[in-house]
Amino acid sequence: MAQKVAITGNEAVALAMKQINPDVVAAYPITPQTEIVQIFSTYVNNGLIDTEFVTVESEHSAMSATVGAASAGARAMTATSANGLALMWEIVYIAASNRLPIVMPVVNRALSGPINIHCDHSDAMGARDSGWIQLWSENTQEAYDNMIQAVRLAENPNVQLPVMVCMDGFIISHAMENAEVLPDEVVREFIGDYTPQKTLLDKENPVTAGPLAFTDSYFEFKRAQAEAMIQAKPYVLEVAREYAKVSGREYGLFETYKLEDAEVGIVVLGSTAGTAKNVVDKLRGQGFKAGLLKPRVFRPFPAEELATALGHLKALAVMDRADSFNAFSGPLFAEITAAMYDSGAQTKIVNYIYGLGGRDVGLGDIEKVYGHLARIAESGKVDQRLNYLGVRE
């Protein structure tokens, strides 16, 4: 029987990791991810699970040890945030290019500087081109569900890619919410026994991992890696369908909220989508056709599906909790806009950078965005493409 519990995001992720019982976890604590590692280590210490828990001296070592364990054929995990992810950088790319099915919760936090421990998406957005699958979560329930699905997805023989499970620092990681957790045996049966596709420890079949590839072959390996991501999309949906059978909760590439008949809409990742849904309800009550789309899968980027879901809108705001500092837009805007252009949609699109360094985003802020969209829908003109929401002028 599934159980309803009051639980924080970090507790839920640590619980998911306990239920997954990975062979190896190598991790280093960093706010706001620390609790995941701390709670998980108590499970290990109390003998509730038999994971080999490696307390490394840095995140570079955490990812290196995880890559080593995964190469050996272990089900291996780590967890991090912000500057910790930045310190892992070199090995993050190697995990993906070596096709290692590692699962890593990323508790989203602002990258320095100035130094800041609160939520934004600059950490995971920075890693958007690292070759990892990225699943984003709106709340504790989704973080828990994404963790369990991530294992099946990463380990699928046709996928064999590492997966980041992203959830907003503090807003999700430290806030207590109601969530439904599955019994241990349901999770174990869902993820199944891990049969690695490759292992360094089979002396009958010796292999080399991570060799050199120069001008004559590097490009072919990267093209093959690109194909793995291109082909991953249906498996995201397959795992979601299987998960719905055991959990009753359905997941897709993204979630739409009152979008089908909407005239204006917002695209937003993570916990802010929850806030925005309340605003949509309020505006709908006033007869204003507002809608919302919350991406779940940012990598692989579901361009065609997004364009199909959004193409009927008169005006759209893409909200980015990270800035690209490219004098143009945030990262989500750039990709959504590219997808829309390709589809021939006539939607007017603006970008809102919001919530950097944990700046609170309230109902009134989101209402302002919808107000801007209403003006654009009426005039048919984008007055200002790049906007900063909630910053003091």
Q: How far is the CB of 216 from other proteins (least distance, A)?
A: 7
Give me the DSSP letters along 364-387.
HHHHHHHHHHHHHHHH---S-SEE
Output the six-digit token pair for 84: 């910790």
Q: How far is the CB of 105 from other proteins (least distance, A)?
A: 23
Considering beta carbons, is residue 189 or 220 the nearer one to other proteins? 220
Q: How far is the CB of 292 from other proteins (least distance, A)?
A: 37
Our measurement of the distance from residue 352's CA atom to the centroid of its chain's CA atoms, rounded to an integer in Å, reads: 20
In angstroms, the CA 254 to CA 150 distance is 15
Q: How far is the CB of 126 from other proteins (least distance, A)?
A: 23
Q: How far is the CB of 240 from other proteins (least distance, A)?
A: 23
Q: How far is the CB of 327 from other proteins (least distance, A)?
A: 35
Residue 143 · residue 149 · CB < 8 Å: no
Residue 260's alpha-carbon distances to 289, 316, 341, in angstroms, are 10, 13, 20
Residue 161's alpha-carbon distances to 14, 108, 219, 351, in angstroms, are 22, 20, 18, 31
CB count in 10 Å sphere of residue 380: 10
Output the six-digit token pair for 281: 């309800």
CA-closest candidate to residue 164, choices 242, 93, 235? 93
Residue 232 · residue 96 · CB < 8 Å: no
Considering beta carbons, is residue 42 or 217 the nearer one to other proteins? 217
Considering beta carbons, is residue 197 or 379 the nearer one to other proteins? 197
Chain contacts with other proteins (rule: CB under 8 A):
97-100, 160, 197-198, 205-211, 213, 216-217, 219-221, 223-225, 227-228
**Sheet with strand 297-299: strands edge to edge:** 52-55, 24-27, 76-77, 103-108, 163-168, 133-136, 297-299
Considering beta carbons, is residue 58 or 217 the nearer one to other proteins? 217
Considering beta carbons, is residue 21 or 97 the nearer one to other proteins? 97
In angstroms, the CA 102 to CA 133 distance is 10
Considering beta carbons, is residue 224 or 382 the nearer one to other proteins? 224
CA triplet 391, 392, 393: central angle to 5 degrees?
A: 110
Q: How far is the CB of 213 from other proteins (least distance, A)?
A: 6
Considering beta carbons, is residue 225 or 275 the nearer one to other proteins? 225
Considering beta carbons, is residue 156 or 343 the nearer one to other proteins? 156
Considering beta carbons, is residue 97 or 347 the nearer one to other proteins? 97
Considering beta carbons, is residue 90 or 281 the nearer one to other proteins? 90
Q: How far is the CB of 118 from other proteins (least distance, A)?
A: 36
Considering beta carbons, is residue 220 or 360 the nearer one to other proteins? 220
Q: How far is the CB of 94 from other proteins (least distance, A)?
A: 10
Q: How far is the CB of 222 from other proteins (least distance, A)?
A: 8
In angstroms, the CA 322 to CA 58 distance is 25
Q: Which residues of 9-48 are buried (b: 16+ CB within 10 A; e: fewer)?
A: bbbbbbbbbbbbbbbbbbbbbbbbbbbbbebbbebbeeee
Q: How far is the CB of 104 from other proteins (least distance, A)?
A: 17
Residue 266 · residue 293 · CB < 8 Å: yes
Main-chain dihedrals φ then ψ at residue 13, nearest 5 degrees: -70, -40
